[in-house]
Structure 1
């Protein structure tokens, strides 16, 4: 059955409803196609975890439209660790200090999850790589050329310390819907969401919505004394204020 799931995930480019309908209708598959999938798995050309595999992350089974297949590159054993997401929009001296301390403290108990967007996420990733800490990146397109804040090939990862996952097979291109859809996976894997900084009108708002929908805690570093600071608004609306990671998470 896992070969069938991978076949449909590739055929339908990871789209949940198309895969679901193909399974429901018992869409016919040529045996040669499944044999090819099996060969690609054995050779490592395809690296994938299906929702019926033992190593599929249990928390993802609880989210809306859990990916039938996770394609991956790197150390999939990191999915068994305690996971948490740390992100933000912008930096200043205080935020940089918080990020540097947070990444170190969190790495003692957690593997960090990131969408690796441009801006503050780049600083977070650089910090983790520099200190040889665990990291899981969620791609919003296929793994042939994953869309991140930096070219992934320019980063010097320890191969045992990172994992890139995507619900999309190789050569699937980026679009706005896929950027939004990956947030449910990022939050689904994470025990909580930590926001170091955000603007009032921020793309992080979708991560917040996912966290609220999934019942995950949201922690915010107190922001600037400005009407445009999103963290202050989030704290006002019920997010937990955090000034230090120690003994808080």
Structure 2
């Protein structure tokens, strides 16, 4: 078994989070010794808690990876590890890139240069939706790839508007468990002609804490992130914060000070995000990349 296959196996094991895999790769860069480590070794060298080390050890020695990988291949799921040359170049630049990506559709979209992320409220106003249409139309015409999170509201509408160009959905669950259920038909269109990806193994169910975690992938894949309508505390602002930490541009549509959905975007602008009145405001900033 080569290093790539070992990483995929480890990534399926319970108890192996991003930091644990990082420690493992520092301790054993070629993953030569992982199958010979005891539960005590895992606790000592990887600082795993005993109950995490126990379930990790069990999965490492009991999971039938051959059957799982055959199932994925049959269902059209591709796997890209951080060791692969196909790994998205923009994403590899961030501090905490996913070790493994699971995807369906066209993997080549992940390495398009002209990629814009779009996030926003799950309950957009009609004005917000019309504004998004106006802003995205030139990007769609120029065949940009639009990345979003498949959520209700702005995310889903951004995907819909981009179906005539290119779009990538980043899930907060495994590919066998796309969320929300209301977007199952949209998900099927995306995996048919575009791409959907997840850093979680395909059978992983959606959990609330996974959605903020996946936001760094949405921003990390792209040159910049556009925020369209966001409350003062929202997942969209988490994505914007991730983008800023990654050194990427953040763009925000302004709104009325009386509108709760504009409090977050207005605050982003106050903190230095680029105010957007037209698509040119974004294109002019990103054309130098």
Range of TM-score over shorter length: 0.7 to 0.9
Q: CA deviation digits over 1:206-243, x for unaligned, max 9?
A: 11210111111111111123274222221111111111
**Partner of residue 238, structure 1:** 272
**Pick aligned residue for 1:85 from 89, 109, 117:** 117
Q: 1:27 and 2:34 equivalent?
A: yes
**Partner of residue 94, structure 1:** 127
Larger radius of gyration: 2
Distance 1:97 1:42, change over 3 A: closer
What is the CA distance between 1:65 and its match in structure 2? 2.3
**Partner of residue 105, structure 1:** 138
**Partner of residue 8, structure 2:** 6
Per the alignment, in what secondary structure is the counterpart of residue 84 of structure 2?
A: coil
Question: 2: CA distance between counterparts of 1:45 and 1:227?
Answer: 44
Q: CA deviation digits over 1:60-109, x for unaligned, max 9?
A: 22223211110111110101212111122143343222211222211215
Aligned pairs for 1:1-249 (under 5 A) are: 1-12=3-14, 15-23=17-25, 24=27, 26-28=33-35, 46-81=77-112, 82-89=114-121, 90-107=123-140, 108-129=142-163, 132-148=164-180, 150-153=182-185, 157=189, 161-226=193-258, 228=260, 229-246=263-280, 248-249=282-283
Q: Is the 2:150–2:180 Cα contact (8 Å) retained in structure 1?
A: yes
Task: Return structure 1 stretches of 4+ with deviation > 4 angstroms.
Answer: 32-46
Structure with the largest fraction of helix: 2
Distance 1:54 1:41, change over 3 A: farther
Larger CA deviation: 17-26 vs 232-241: 17-26
**Partner of residue 44, structure 2:** none
Q: Which runs of 5+ in 2 are unaligned?
A: 36-59, 284-289
Calculate the TM-score normalised by the size of structure 1. Answer: 0.86
Larger CA deviation: 107-116 vs 221-230: 221-230
Structure with larger RCO (C-alpha < 8 A, sep 6+): 1
Q: Is the 2:253–2:277 Cα contact (8 Å) retained in structure 1?
A: yes
Distance 1:173 1:149, change over 3 A: closer
Q: Is the 2:117–2:218 Cα contact (8 Å) retained in structure 1?
A: yes
Question: 2: CA distance between counterparts of 1:97 and 1:41?
Answer: 39
Q: Is the 1:12–1:19 Cα contact (8 Å) retained in structure 2?
A: no
CA RMSD of superposed structures (Å): 2.7
Per the alignment, in what secondary structure is the counterpart of residue 246 of structure 1?
A: helix
